[in-house]
Amino acid sequence: MTQWVEAFRAGAGARASAAADFADLRAVAREARRRVDADLVTVTLAGDEPGEATIVVQETGPVLSGAEDALGTQSDPLGLAEAVRAEGVPVVWDRVGDAAAASPGLERLLGGGGTEAWLARALSDAGATAVPLEPGVTGGGGALIAVHLDGHDPPHGLIDTLAELAPLARLAARAERLDARLGRARSVSAALAACAGAVLIEWDRSGRVIDWHGPVEAVLGIDPVSIAGRRTGLAASALAARLDDVAEKRLRGPLRDAAPEHLATKDGREVRHERREVGVGGTAVVDVFMDVTRERRAQSESARLAAEKAELHGREVRRVGEEVALSRAAHAMASEMTRAEIHERLLAEARRLVPCDKAAVLELDARGDLLPVATAGFSAHSVRRMIFRAGEGLAGTVVSEGRAFTCDDVEGDPRISRRIVGPERIRSFLHVPILLGERVYGLVSVNSERPGAFGDRDARVLGELARHAATALGNAREYERERHVAETLQRSLLADDLPRVPGLELATLYRPSEGALVGGDFYAVWPVGRRVAVLLGDVSGRGVEAAGLTAMVRYMAEALARSMSDSGEVLTELNRLLWGRMPDGALVTVLLVVIDAEGSTLQWTSAGHPPALLVDTARRVTALDDPDPPCGAFPTTRYATHVESFTPGDLLFAYTDGLSEARRSGTQFDEDGIRRALLESHSRPPGEIARQVYANARAWAGGRIDDDVAIAVISRIPG
């Protein structure tokens, strides 16, 4: 079907790709351009803070591959991003040159001559579609824009595809922005150290020196390279060459907050030292050294200010780090496809961001009872008892009121049931509800064996995590609902029992593509008097819409075949009926074979379908290769009828293009591969032949076929 989809590409659905990692903004732009087959995709995100630059990523297709420099001269050369941000809703321009916002940018490019002038003319006649990264918000956020040079009518489903990718683009852009802020915060730390004349030495949790700032040689009298990468003991020994034994003992101490203290140097000077934990959850430790020998009072004041700035900096680092961690957690949960996967991801992220001994995610069932769906650290016995009836205990209160609850010490709260906290030795816990709009989905709980383990920061972080989980769970619920509807519909379209026809043995096989909800391939077999009709088809697109079109094609064809004896007439009338009823850009390839076992003949008609293979008793293979256009391409096509001999011992093998287009290193399995596999299994029953040929194609493709496959095998039983 590939050549027909290329010939009639307007609106044809793109094949779904394998799941990709969209944590990088350019990867999101690249995926958007691939999905909608655009010539140019632009992602913009306005700054959140005054003076913060707009993030812009542009991904071009082959036609514009030489025009990147001209496109990059301005952040928004056509002004389309600003226009869609002003609207707050998706915008479609049939012709970019007619958009008022684009006029200044096009005039600038046109005046540049050469590549820029060519680009201006191409973009002026192009069509463009844009969606806001924050729907409904005017004047803020950003935009995801797709430009098509070859037509003004946007491909079918383009806005939905861009809207699906917009949240991923927003998360990726903001993650890049937060990483940049973190880098700026570290630069500020170095600048503060230099201005204050202080030395900052940073250790990781394993006790290894990972960074330093300030005049290390002037204050400590050592070359910083001599301690780079060294662990606590070796680094402290190197510092001891400058400081006394008390100082060495202090530096060898635990890597946690240490109050300021004056340390003596071996040459009689004084250095003020303090130790601070920084990063999310105290992932690093910073030692601050200040030479206070001269002008003790003035230097003491400077040291105090430097310590305060270091503390403020640590808070900022923790805040930015938390935002980055939450953004990445949100992206990770949004990438999961099922609610069970999101439950497990939420549990893992909660334990990573909020240190605890045990954690659980509970979901409300249809009766309003809370049931555990993901746990960590609890015994199996406690998990079995972790069922809270509607309104029961503090967990029920959290759900009924939709508010978080923190318990600092279960020993001092008579409301706490001991059935779980007792055996698990829990002393404090934090429950946070998961809200889907106005409805409570469940809650996430973190628990500790020590009292007072959770504070305001933990409640805030866990609340943000629950909010991101709610968004992912809502999307997963819709995905599961659509998958169930689509799969149920397609199962109803595939015949479970094939008719029994004297003199014939029939078998069929259907395999959906890897990771697909449901595809557009189908087959049908039904008796027509003393003959039997076999129908194979491939509808462009996926999901419920494709399954609905499949049903229409199948049942129309079956009804027509019962009143018409000629396969060409059937497809001619089918094409006439489908014209005007199919979605824009949709196509369907069809192969109709009508077999007369008594007359030892078969007639066939192909509407753009891959050729069926006819194998005779001498193992000669004939391709039934004379296709007319796919149904839905032209309204007045008349389809030809072909007649072949089908004598005892002959076999017919029909298939959809997912089988022949199985790929390995860019090479297709193709009709030659099918012929080889068919001849290898020719002597087996039809069902085994279908399974063996499919297995050969799948092995050729490295264990994965990226398209649906339908196969029908009909054997004329030897007399």
Task: For residue 17, give the 3-state DSSP assignment.
Answer: coil
User: What contacts 328, CB < 8 A, 6 or more positions away?
Assistant: 23, 175
Q: Is 2 within the bounds of a domain?
A: no
154-164 mean pLDDT: 81
Classify residue 265 by its DSSP letter: B
Residue 568 within a domain: yes
Whole-number Å distance between alpha carbons of 354 and 280: 10
Q: Which has the minimum average pLDDT: 139-148, 349-358, 566-575, 671-680?
A: 139-148
Task: Answer whether residue 190 is part of any domain.
Answer: no
240: domain CATH number?
3.30.450.20
- Claim to verify: residue 622 and residue 504 sit in the same structural domain: yes
> Counting Cβ atoms within 10 Å, is residue 602 exposed (0-12), middle (13-18) or buried (19+)?
buried
What pLDDT band is residue 296 in, cutting at 50, 70 and 90? low
Provide the residue range defining the domain that includes 403.
Answer: 337-486
Of 67-71, 137-141, 451-455, the least confident: 137-141
3-state secondary structure of 329: helix
Last residue of a domain, one of 167, 187, 216: 167
Give the residue among 396, 363, 376, 383 at the shortest CA–CA distance from 423.
Answer: 383
Going by DSSP bridges, is the β-strand pair 405-407/428-436 parallel, antiparallel, or unpaired? antiparallel
Residues 233 and 356 in one domain: no
Per DSSP bridges, beta strands 358-364 and 370-376 are: antiparallel
Is the model's pLDDT at 6 over the cut of 50?
Answer: no
User: Looking at the structure, do residues 281 and 346 belong to the same domain, yes or no?
Assistant: no
Grade residue 516 by pLDDT with cuts at 50, 70 and 90. low
CATH number of the domain encompassing residue 454: 3.30.450.40
Could you tell me if 596 and 708 lie in one domain?
yes
Per-residue model confidence as pLDDT tens digits over 136-147: 666 667 888 988
Q: Where are the beta strands (DSSP E) in 65-194?
A: 91-93, 127-132, 142-148
* Same domain (yes/no): 634, 697: yes
The verdict on residue 175 lying in a domain is no
| Same-domain pairing of 107 and 126 | yes
b or e along 8-20 (b: 16 or more beta carbons within 10 Å of the residue's beta carbon)?
A: bbebbbbbbeeee
Partnered with residue 536 across adjacent β-strands are 523, 591
- DSSP E strands in 365-427: the ranges are 370-376, 405-407
Question: How do residues 530-556 score in pLDDT, each as one tens digit?
Answer: 899 999 999 887 666 777 788 888 889
Long-range CB pairs of 409-417, under 8 A, 24+ apart, other chains included: 409/451, 409/452, 411/451, 417/393
Shortest CA distance to 22 belongs to which of 11, 12, 13, 35?
35
Choosing from 167, 188, 210, the residue where a domain stops is 167
- Report if pTM > 0.75: no
502: exposed, middle or buried (Cβ count in 10 Å: 0-12, 13-18, 19+): exposed
* pLDDT, mean of residues 573-583: 88
CA-to-CA distance for 599 and 478, rounded, in angstroms? Answer: 52
Decide if pLDDT at 16 tops 50.
no
Residue 6 placed within a domain: no
Residue 379 covered by a domain = yes
The helix or strand, by DSSP H or E, that contains position 608, with its residue range, turns out to be: none
Separation in Å, CA 492 to CA 497, 522, 533: 12, 11, 19
Q: Do 97 and 144 belong together in one domain?
A: yes
Asked if residue 283 belongs to a domain, the reply is yes
Rounded distance between C-alpha atoms, residue 255 and residue 703, angstroms: 50
pLDDT tens-digit profile of 78-135? 788 888 888 888 888 888 888 877 778 788 877 777 778 888 888 888 888 889 888 7
Of 435, 458, 486, the residue that ends a domain is: 486
Please tell me the distance from the alpha carbon of residue 576 to that of residue 588, in angstroms, as a whole number.
13
Angle between helices 114-124 and 103-112 (to 10 degrees): 150
Residue 398 to residue 115: CA distance in whole angstroms:
63
What per-residue confidence (pLDDT) applies to 565?
86
Q: Are residues 155 and 32 in the same domain?
A: yes
Identify the band that residue 10 occupies on the pLDDT scale cut at 50, 70 and 90.
Answer: very low
DSSP 542: -
Query: Which is it for the CA torsion 579, 582, 584, 586, positive or negative?
Result: negative
Q: What span, in angstroms and rounded, lies between the C-alpha atoms of 678 and 468?
A: 51
Can you give the length of the chain in residues? Answer: 719
CA distance 666 to 652: 29
Tell me the pLDDT band of 8, cut-offs 50, 70 and 90.
very low
Average pLDDT, the chain: 81
Residues 134-162 have a mean pLDDT of 78
Q: In angstroms, rounded to a whole number, what is the distance separating the alpha carbons of residues 472 and 494?
A: 33
For residue 1, what pLDDT is reported? 37
R_g of the chain, CA atoms, integer Å: 34
Choose between 334 and 656: higher pLDDT.
656
- Give the residue among 459, 349, 360 at the shortest CA–CA distance from 407: 459
Q: Does residue 202 share a domain with residue 146?
A: no
DSSP H or E stretch at residue 271: strand 270-278
Non-local (6+) Cβ contacts of 564 within 8 A are 570, 573
Angle at which helix 670-680 crosses helix 686-700, to 10 degrees, equals: 140
The residues, any chain, with a CB within 8 Å of residue 711's CB and separated by 6 or more, are 508, 509, 510, 523, 653, 654, 655, 656, 659, 690, 693, 694
**Distance (Å, rounded) from C-alpha 124 to C-alpha 105?**
10
Task: State whether the Cα torsion 62-67-71-73 is positive or negative.
Answer: positive
Residue 80 exposed, middle or buried by CB count within 10 Å (0-12, 13-18, 19+): buried
The whole-number average pLDDT for the span 283-300 is: 70
Per-residue pLDDT, 374? 94
Are residues 529 and 597 located together in one domain of the fold? yes
Domain count of the fold of the chain = 4
- Looking at the structure, do residues 580 and 645 belong to the same domain, yes or no? yes
| CATH number where 602 lies | 3.60.40.10
Q: Do 329 and 178 touch, CB atoms closer than 8 A?
A: no
Please give the average per-residue pLDDT across 689-711, as a whole number.
91
Nearest to 481 by CA among 530, 517, 506, 525: 517
CA angle 202–259–429, rounded 5-degree value: 85
Whether residue 256 is contained in a domain is answered as: yes
With b for 16 or more beta-carbon neighbours within 10 A and e for fewer, the 646-674 pattern comes to beeebbbbbbbbbbbbbbeeeebbebebb
pLDDT at residue 201 above 50?
A: yes
Residue 11: helix, strand or coil by DSSP? coil
Domain co-membership, 540 together with 669: yes
